[in-house]
Amino acid sequence: MATTPQVSGTRPPKVRRRRAGNPLTWVRSGGLSTLLFALPMIFVFAIFSWLPIVRSLIMSFQKTNLITASWVGLDNYTAVLRDPLLSTAVLNTAYFAVLALILGFPIPIIMAVLMSEVRRGKGIYSALAYLPVVIPPVVAVLLWKIFYDASPQGVFNVILGAVGIPPQPWLQSQSQAMPALVIEATWAAAGGSIIIYLAALLIVPPELYDAAEVDGAGIWRKIWHVTLPQMRGVIFVMLILQVLATAQVFLEPFLFTGGGPANATTTILLLIYNYAFKNSLGGNYGMATALSVMLAAFLAILSWVYFRLTNRWSTS
């Protein structure tokens, strides 16, 4: 890659920096046209991002319908904490997150390492792995709902039958519903992670492998002592991203089971949705925002602690 002569590495010099004060000078020096470029961004972020963020904090201390609002102190928070469904939802969400970690986290890493080693067909393999990500998530869930048909003629039950396993109830069973959701979610998300890991594998400096070979390392030791440590940064970030995503899982429980059977798949997000939108006469927006704020605070603390820890591991 040739480097053209350019100001590289340094920040581009500040161009317009004149004293404001006289509006006419401001307009002449380009202040007005700059503002015209900035305004669309400021507008959408103010109305659709900053304002709602502030509003969610305020609303969690209010009783709101669409017309009036009154302060109720911590009532929303205590109401949420007293809801018997809360512990169910928290445990279900944690269960989903843990299952997704056990099942879904190692698979993309292994697949990416394998895919990086084959010489031919890598493009086709990447495309095949990424295909499930391209299918609209709603279509994927509705399709898998048909796959999970509990009758002996259901798609998955036919496959199991071929290897001699009796038909499973899948989504209709309290114990199997959540694993079924996790399997679909893993299938839907793995391709994206594989592509990211493949990209991370490419930036492992080849010299490190050469050096490891000089030291007599075999394939497994190269994977263990070079590849994985070199991918450590990406793996750490992917891990917390996955935890943050699964803590907010909504689509799968909403469309597969609606939280059933017997609340076995009610997640925190589903509970928030039910507080706010299930009752068509007007939702309990206060309780919904209170639970959202609590979840967000928990996730913020979790990621902060996580980054403190992983930073220490990365540097040591």
134 with 126: CB under 8 angstroms? Answer: no
Give residues 101-120 in contact with other proteins (rule: CB under 8 A): 111, 113-118
Among 73, 136, 164, 166, binds other proteins (CB under 8 A): 136
* Phi, then psi, of 186 in degrees rounded to 5: -65, -45
Closest to other proteins by CB, 88 vs 156, is 156
Distance CA 149, CA 155 (A): 7
Does residue 182 belong to the site contacting other proteins (CB under 8 A)?
Answer: no
Among 27, 165, 199, 301, binds other proteins (CB under 8 A): 199
Does residue 285 belong to the site contacting other proteins (CB under 8 A)?
Answer: yes
Q: What is the nearest approach in angstroms of other proteins to the Cβ of residue 259? A: 14
241 with 192: CB under 8 angstroms? Answer: no
Does residue 293 belong to the site contacting other proteins (CB under 8 A)?
Answer: yes
Give residues 249-278 in contact with other proteins (rule: CB under 8 A): 249-252, 254-255, 269, 272-273, 276-277
Closest to other proteins by CB, 175 vs 218, is 218
Does residue 315 belong to the site contacting other proteins (CB under 8 A)?
Answer: no
At 88, list the tokens. Answer: 């169910």
Among 21, 24, 49, 313, binds other proteins (CB under 8 A): 49
Among 94, 150, 237, 263, binds other proteins (CB under 8 A): 237
Name every residue whose Cβ is closer than 8 Å to that of residue 293 and which is 6 or more positions away in sequence. Answer: 56, 57, 60
Does residue 50 belong to the site contacting other proteins (CB under 8 A)?
Answer: yes
Closest to other proteins by CB, 98 vs 138, is 138
Sign of the dihedral defined by the CA atoms of residues 149, 150, 154, 159, in that order: positive
Contact range with other proteins by CB under 8 A, out of 15-23, 80-88, 163-171, 174-182: 15-23
Contact range with other proteins by CB under 8 A, out of 71-79, 91-99, 139-147, 168-176: 139-147
Among 133, 160, 169, 176, binds other proteins (CB under 8 A): 133
Q: What is the nearest approach in angstroms of other proteins to the Cβ of residue 9? A: 6
